């Protein structure tokens, strides 16, 4: 296993249309899913500049595959770290690089999801037509590999509606986000205070800093849901952490008393068994 801060191949030709993609890879990732994720990026127009951080040791098969892709030039930057420090730290490390490299647009992508072929083209077109918007997401399609679960999740489209929606739950799917660099110039990078809700707290910082949000109605990303997805979303420790993060959102953005009702309701849902949570997610999301 190799460890170094990263080998940069940042001779990628920059243009206003070229988005940078930031992705974190860790030990729990599967090679077949990662290949699908990267292949979906290779099909995007325009072809993106892909930046990947390996957050601690990864499977040798994944390491060899990523090295091959880096050598071929399809991955612009590939970094390694000796220990797993979490998603927020990995994304912040990558953000420092892409911001320094001068990219105007920065997209998020998880290592086991699949971009629809038109994702970047639609998001770039929207951002170019709406220069006041700092971030745009879209609908997602959740699925399991065995076909037992499939659901399209839609979000509010306009900034004001998204702000109102945020009193209940997140108004934008993190995996679908494309940022203008102005978002991070206004709001700063990902908070590292929460172990699992870096996106929730980033949206909070964005709204507080005056960033403008939007979503497209189109399904932009297929999000792979593992068999243990709903059971992992439970547990007292995680439920309490999520509740504390939700209270921070409410206080920071000045939501009314009803936001506390939603926070308590979500705490109750997060404490239910996995099969109950799966049913409620299907009905309520």
Residues 232-261, mean pLDDT to the nearest whole number = 87
Residues ≥6 apart with Cβ < 8 Å to 220: 115, 116, 119, 122, 123, 137, 138, 139, 140, 176
Domain 1-112 sits in which CATH superfamily?
Spore Coat Polysaccharide Biosynthesis Protein SpsA; Chain A (3.90.550.10)
pTM above 0.75, yes or no: yes
Q: How far apart are CA 22 and CA 226, in angstroms?
A: 22
pLDDT digits (tens, 9 = 90+) for 169-190: 999 999 999 999 999 999 999 9
pLDDT of residue 8 exceeding 70:
no
pLDDT band, very low/low/confident/very high, at 216 (cuts 50, 70, 90):
very high
Backbone angles phi and psi of 30, in degrees to 5: -100, 140
Q: How far apart are CA 161 and CA 197, in angstroms?
A: 21
Q: How far apart are CA 269 and CA 181, in angstroms?
A: 36
């Amino acid at each position: 296993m190799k460890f170094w801060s990263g080998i940069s191949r940042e001779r990628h030709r920059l243009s206003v249309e070229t988005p940078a993609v930031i992705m974190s890879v860790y030990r729990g990732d599967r090679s077949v899913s990662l290949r699908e994720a990267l292949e979906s990026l290779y099909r995007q127009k325009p072809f993106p500049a892909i930046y990947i951080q390996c957050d601690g040791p990864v499977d040798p098969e994944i390491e060899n595959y990523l090295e091959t892709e880096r050598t071929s030039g399809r991955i612009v930057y590939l970094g390694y770290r000796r220990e797993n420090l979490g998603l927020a730290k990995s994304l912040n490390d990558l953000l420092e690089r892409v911001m320094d490299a001068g990219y105007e647009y920065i997209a998020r992508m998880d290592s086991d999801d699949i971009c629809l072929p038109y994702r970047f083209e639609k998001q770039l077109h929207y951002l170019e037509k709406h220069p006041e918007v700092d971030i745009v997401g879209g609908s997602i399609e959740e699925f399991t590999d065995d076909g037992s679960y499939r659901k399209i999740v839609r979000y509010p489209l306009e900034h004001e509606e998204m702000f109102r929606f945020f009193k209940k739950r997140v108004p934008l799917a993190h995996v679908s986000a494309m940022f203008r660099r102005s978002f991070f110039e206004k709001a700063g990078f990902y908070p590292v205070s929460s172990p699992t809700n870096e996106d929730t707290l980033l949206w909070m910082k964005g709204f507080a800093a005056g960033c403008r949000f939007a979503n497209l109605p189109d399904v932009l990303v297929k999000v792979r849901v593992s068999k243990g997805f709903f059971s992992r979303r439970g547990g007292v420790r995680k439920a309490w952490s999520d509740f504390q993060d939700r209270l921070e959102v409410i206080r920071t953005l000045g939501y009314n008393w009803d936001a506390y009702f939603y926070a308590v309701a979500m705490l109750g849902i997060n404490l239910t068994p996995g099969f109950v949570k799966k049913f409620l997610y299907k009905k309520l999301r």
